[in-house]
Amino acid sequence: MAEPIRVLVTGAAGQIAYSLLYSIAKGDVFGKDQPIILVLLDITPMLPVLDGVVMELQDCALPLLRDVIPTDKVEVGFKDLDAAILVGSMPRKEGMERKDLLKANVAIFKTQGEALEKYAQKTVKVLVVGNPANTNCLIASKSAPSIPKENFSCLTRLDHNRARSQVAMRVGVSSDNVKNVIIWGNHSSTQYPDVHHAIVNHHGKELAAFDAVNDESWLKGDFISTVQQRGAAVIKARKLSSAMSAAKAICDHMRDIWFGTPDGEWVSMGVYSSGNSYGVPDDLMYSFPVKIKNKTWKVVDGLSINDFSRAKMDATSAELVEERDTAVTFLGA
């Protein structure tokens, strides 16, 4: 048996974590022969709830789960980590300005970045889920200067999975027959779900998504808005935010970092922008199509971008630049 790895989940008493922890602990993410020490971090008032989560994990009797450590202390939570999944963030409250939300989250992710810097292994892989995920991820990475920027990513896999599923349902195939959709930019309503390079396997024949769907006005209209607004639609229906689908996307994202992407396929994740072929400004966490090998991602460069796509990619860039510039003013505060 391999040595156990230490995996941190923050916001561990919350509903996304509740859907996530079982999958991690039973080997769906880091492998069926990889023992795990799960570290569960949350704020002090949530510790009694966390104790209940620990009891349930123990009661699952999972052979790979070597230990579960609940804590409200960063020095315990971030110690010697192999992987950190940062789910906890300040949610937007009614009447709250976006700027106030950013300020609260800069404080959280600055603290967590500093804790990564001080306590975690330098090889740690960090996935930021808590919103605004792209900018929170950038702040965390800036606060951990000795950990490579490439080790940080934020979750746009949920949007990617949503896009894939929408196309699959429209064509009448299962979602594994749709590949190479792209989410560009911010995990917000400005994100751009792009299927110009996507492929659909339709009755054994590979078709471009635009040909398979055969409805350009849907692909350039309702498809995009459905993916962009899906989170809000789930909240409206359930009165709670996406949890099962978010947890599944987190598992997909981390598993791909650990084991790589299949040949000929890419996935979407928010990664550090520096010198790409798409004219995306540097020093942002921006969602790109990436391929992963040996735990290292590489942006898929050189895809053709038409004017329709360009405008949408630029709009989401502009939002990220504005978010970053606002957030950075809070860093020194």
Binding site residue list for substrate: 92, 98, 131, 162
Q: How far is CA 201 from the centre of its chain?
A: 26
Q: Nearest Cα to 124, choosing from 89, 79, 76? A: 79
Which parts are annotated binding residues for NAD(+)?
Answer: 42, 105, 129-131
**Cβ neighbourhood burial of 27 (10 Å; 0-12, 13-18, 19+):** middle
Cβ 281 vs Cβ 273: under 8 Å: yes
Which parts are annotated binding residues?
Answer: 42, 92, 98, 105, 129-131, 162
Q: Nearest Cα to 241, choosing from 228, 231, 230, 229? A: 231
187 is catalytic: yes
Instruction: At 315, list the tokens.
Output: 């709009």
DSSP state of 60: T
Using CA atoms in the order 228, 178, 308, 223, what is the torsion angle rounded to 10 degrees? -40
Distance CA 81, CA 39 (A): 9
DSSP state of 89: -
φ, ψ for residue 201, nearest 5 deg: -90, 105
DSSP code string of 269-293 = EEEE-SS-TT-PPSS-EEEEEEEEE
Which is the catalytic residue, given 160, 187, 197, 253? 187
Instruction: At 186, list the tokens.
Output: 């911010």
Distance CA 255, CA 259 (A): 6
What kind and span of H or E run contains 40?
strand 36-41
Half-sphere exposure of 186 (CA within 13 A, CB side): 22
Q: Which value, in Å, is the radius of gyration of the alpha carbons in the chain? A: 19
Catalytic positions, written as ranges = 187
